[in-house]
Amino acid sequence: MSATEALHSRQTLRAQAREFAGDVLSRVREVTDPLPTAIERYRATRPFYEQMVEAGFLRRLVPQALGGDGTGASATAALAEELVAGDPSVALNLFSTGLGLTPLLRAGNPAQHAAFLPPFLAMSGTPIASLALTEPGGTANLDEPDTSTGERLGLQTTARRHGDGWLVDGEKQWVSHAAGWDGTGPDLMIVVCRAGDDPDPRNSLAALILPAPIEGLTITDVLDPLGHRAHLLPRFTLTASPVPDANVLGEVGDGLRIVNTAFGGALIGACAAGVMRSAFDVALRFARTDRRGGRVPVIEHQGVGFLLADVKTRIEAVRALTQRACAALDAGSPGAEELSVHAKIFGSETAVQSLIDLMRVVGVESYGHHLPLAGLVQDVLAYPLFSGGNIGFRRRRLQALLADPGYDPWCTMADL
Ligand SMILES: Cc1cc2nc3c(=O)[nH]c(=O)nc-3n(C[C@H](O)[C@H](O)[C@H](O)COP(=O)(O)OP(=O)(O)OC[C@H]3O[C@@H](n4cnc5c(N)ncnc54)[C@H](O)[C@@H]3O)c2cc1C
pLDDT tens string 229-246: 999 999 999 999 999 999
> Quick check: CB of 391 below 6 Å from ligand 1?
yes
Reduce the DSSP state of residue 402 to 3 states and report it.
helix
pTM: 0.96
Closest-CA residue, ligand 1 atom 42, reads 392
**338 within 8 A of 402, measured Cβ to Cβ:** no
Q: From atom 25 of ligand 1, which residue's Cα is the shortest distance away?
A: 389
**Cα–Cα distance, 268 to 266 (Å, whole number):** 5
CATH 1.20.1260.10 fits 130-253, yes or no: no
Rg of the chain (C-alpha set) = 22
Q: Is the CB of 396 under 6 A from ligand 1?
A: yes
Residues of the chain with CATH 1.20.140.10: 263-413
The arithmetic mean of pLDDT across residues 5-9, rounded, is 90
Choosing from 130, 139, 189 the residue with most ligand 1 atoms within 8 A of its CB, the one to mutate for a pocket test is: 139
Q: Given this model, what pLDDT does residue 143 score?
A: 85
pLDDT surpasses 80 at 406: yes
Across 144-158, 267-281, 321-335, least confident range: 144-158
Share of the chain above pLDDT 70, in %: 100
Nearest to 343 by CA among 330, 357, 328, 363: 328
Q: Whose CA is nearest to atom 1 of ligand 1?
A: 382
* Residue with CA nearest ligand 1 atom 7: 175
Does the beta carbon of 392 sit less than 6 angstroms from any atom of ligand 1?
yes
CA distance 190 to 172: 12
Residues sharing a CB contact under 8 Å with residue 225, sequence separation 6 or more, in sequence order: 38, 231, 233, 382
What's the rounded Cα separation, in Å, for the pair 380 and 344? 12
CA of 60 to the centre of ligand 1 (A): 27
Q: Distance from the CA of 308 to the center of ligand 1, in angstroms?
A: 32
On average, the pLDDT of the chain sits at 96
- φ/ψ of residue 217, rounded to 5: -85, 125
Residue closest via CA to ligand 1's atom 49 equals 392
DSSP secondary structure, 73-99, as one string: HHHHHHHHHHHHHH-HHHHHHHHHHHH
State the span(s) of the chain assigned CATH 2.40.110.10: 130-253
CA 109 → CA 66, 114, 209, 246, 414, distances in Å?
A: 11, 9, 12, 10, 31
Structural element, H or E, at residue 262: helix 255-262
Answer whether 145's CB lies under 8 Å from 202's CB. Answer: yes
C-alpha–C-alpha distance, residues 317 and 361, integer Å? 20
Residues 287-318 as b/e (b if ≥16 CB within 10 A, e otherwise) read beeeeeeeeebbbeeeebeebbeebeebbeeb
SS (H, E, C) 128-182: CEEEECCCCCCCCCCCCCCCCCCCCCCCCCEEEEECCEEEEEEEEECCCCCCCCC
Point out the ligand 1 atom lying closest to the alpha carbon of residue 395.
43
Q: How many CB atoms lie within 10 A of CB 257?
A: 16
Rounded-to-integer distance, Cα 6 and Cα 285, Å: 33
CA of 84 to the centre of ligand 1 (A): 21
Q: How far is CA 135 from CA 140, 154, 191, 192, 234, in A?
A: 10, 10, 11, 10, 11
Q: Which atom of ligand 1 is nearest to the CA of 263?
A: 17
Q: Kindly give the pairing relationship between strand 188-195 and strand 129-132.
A: parallel
Output the pLDDT for position 193. Answer: 97
How large is the average pLDDT for residues 137-160?
Answer: 86
Nearest CA to ligand 1 atom 21: 134
> Does residue 257's CB lie within 6 angstroms of at least one atom of ligand 1?
no
Position 200 pLDDT exceeds 90: no
Q: Which helix (H) or strand (E) holds 318?
A: helix 302-331
Report helix, strand and coil shares of the chain as percent, to nearest 5: 55, 15, 30
What integer pLDDT is reported at residue 146 of this predicted model? 65
Averaged pLDDT, 313-326: 98
User: Is domain 3-128 annotated with CATH 3.40.50.720?
Assistant: no
Q: Which amino acid is at 205?
A: L
- Regarding the beta carbon of 75 and ligand 1, being less than 6 Å apart is answered no
Report which protein residue has its CA nearest ligand 1's atom 43: 392
CATH 3.10.690.10 assigned to domain 263-413? The reply is no
Higher local confidence (pLDDT), 145 or 327: 327
Bin 170: left if φ > 0, else alpha if -120 < ψ < 50, else beta: left
Q: Residue 58 Cα, ligand 1 centroid: separation in angstroms? A: 25
pLDDT at 298: 98
Q: What is the pLDDT of residue 264?
A: 77
141 lines ligand 1 (CB under 6 A): yes
Residue 140 CB less than 6 A away from ligand 1: yes
Mean pLDDT across 302-310: 98
Centroid of ligand 1 to alpha carbon of 36 (angstroms): 27
**Which amino acid, 148?**
S
CA distances to 73, 122, 248 from 20, rounded to whole Å, are 20, 19, 37
How high is the pLDDT of residue 262? Answer: 79
* Cβ-based burial of 46 (10 A; exposed 0-12, middle 13-18, buried ≥19): middle
The residue ranges of DSSP E strands in 146-283, in sequence order, are 158-162, 165-173, 188-195, 205-211, 217-222, 234-244
Q: How far, in Å, is the centroid of ligand 1 from the Cα of 149? A: 24
Sign of CA dihedral 391, 393, 398, 404: positive
107 close to 190: Cβ distance less than 8 angstroms: no
User: What pLDDT is recorded for position 367?
Assistant: 97
What is the percentage of the chain residues whose pLDDT exceeds 90?
92
